Amino acid sequence: MKTLLRSETKEIHLDTEGPIVIIGEKINPTGHKKLATAYKDGDFKYVRALASRQIAAGADVLDINVGVPGMDEVAMLPEVVKIVASEVEAPLCLDSANPDVLAAALPLTPGKPLINSVNGEEASLNSLLPIVKDHNAAVIGLTMDDEGIPNDAETRLAIAGKILERAAKLGIPIEDVVIDPLVMAVGADSHAAVVTIRAIQLIRQEFGVNINLGASNVSFGLPERQTINEAFLALAVSAGATCVITDPMKHTLTIRAIDMLLGRDEYATRYIGHYRALAKGSN
Ligand code: THG
């Protein structure tokens, strides 16, 4: 199954049979004081640098989040979308669950963006899916609902089914819904990663849709996070994940290695290409 995303000039496909799509996560002020300050000061040079740096590091799509406490997100998200769209050619992923914020930013977003995100709560489905439909966007559906994040894979599968059904009722094509089965910290619950992996398998088997993950949560609170994140990425992709929200500066080469090992990189072209680009950058 293919999910098409578009900027003004560029198309990216999430593809259940294709290589992993990387959504760069760095334009997010959570735990990122320098970016939060840049937003408050209206200093968009730093935003531009984060955008171009992530593309150079291999990101296919850029996530944009403006969630700083006290921030007028309705005013800010359209502003940052314009800046990023003028800086890079990649399609965008609008990271907000607030319908007013999305409705303000979508008319200014070129092409076909990804909306991050809707979930199984009634309020979320009712307020966000019509906006997704109106703007002909694609959307990430998180497998949580009014009762929180289920700690078993079967309930996450059921929530994915509910989101897909409600989207279909509004005429949103199934390929425009990307399911995110949610990654929790393995340091807090030793079965957290296993539940996510199992949910990926079930959702892929049942619905055949594209599956996104924000992989870095898995290592929260543990040392050598990068090692854990990368081991988890390999397992998640092997189970059926097709798209990751992550730091491309840290993880692109490993992601290329995973694609290569899964037979999705003929003659290791992309792996070697990225290795060479990194080697050049360090000279
Ligand atoms: N699924 C979906 N969307 C998501 C997530 C997900 N969006 C948010 C998050 N999870 C993914 N994005 C981030 C962004 C930043 C960090 C982690 C996940 C992060 N930041 C550093 C920190 O907090 O230590 C600080 C930034 C820095 O290194 O400069 O870790 O799961 N659909």
pLDDT, average across residues 109-116: 98
Architecture of domain 2-282: Alpha-Beta Barrel (3.20)
pLDDT, average across residues 183-201: 97
**pLDDT recorded at residue 280:** 85
Residues with CB under 6 A from ligand 1: 25, 28, 30-32, 95, 116-117, 140, 180, 183, 212, 214, 216-217, 245
Q: Which residues contact 222 (CB under 8 A, 6 or more apart)?
A: 185, 186, 187, 228
- Mean residue pLDDT across the chain: 97
Q: Name the closest-CA residue to atom 26, ligand 1.
A: 32
The candidate with the shortest Cα–Cα distance to 55, out of 67, 66, 63, 44, is: 63
Confidence of residue 88 (pLDDT cuts 50, 70, 90): very high
Q: What ligand 1 atom has the least distance to the C-alpha of 182?
A: 31
Q: What ligand 1 atom has the least distance to the C-alpha of 212?
A: 32
Query: Helix, strand, coil shares of the chain as percentages rounded to 5?
Result: 50, 20, 30
* Residue 102 in this model has a pLDDT that exceeds 70: yes
**3-state secondary structure (DSSP) of residue 116:** strand
Confidence of residue 210 (pLDDT cuts 50, 70, 90): very high
How does pLDDT run across 55-81, given as a tens digit for each residue?
999 999 999 999 999 999 999 999 999
**pLDDT recorded at residue 215:** 86
Amino acid identity, position 111:
G
Provide the token pair at 138. Answer: 């694609």
How does pLDDT run across 149-160, given as a tens digit for each residue?
999 999 999 999
pLDDT, average across residues 110-129: 98
Confidence of residue 281 (pLDDT cuts 50, 70, 90): confident
**pLDDT recorded at residue 247:** 96
* Residue 168 in this model has a pLDDT that exceeds 70: yes
**């200014």: which residue's tokens?**
108
Domain boundaries, the chain: 2-282
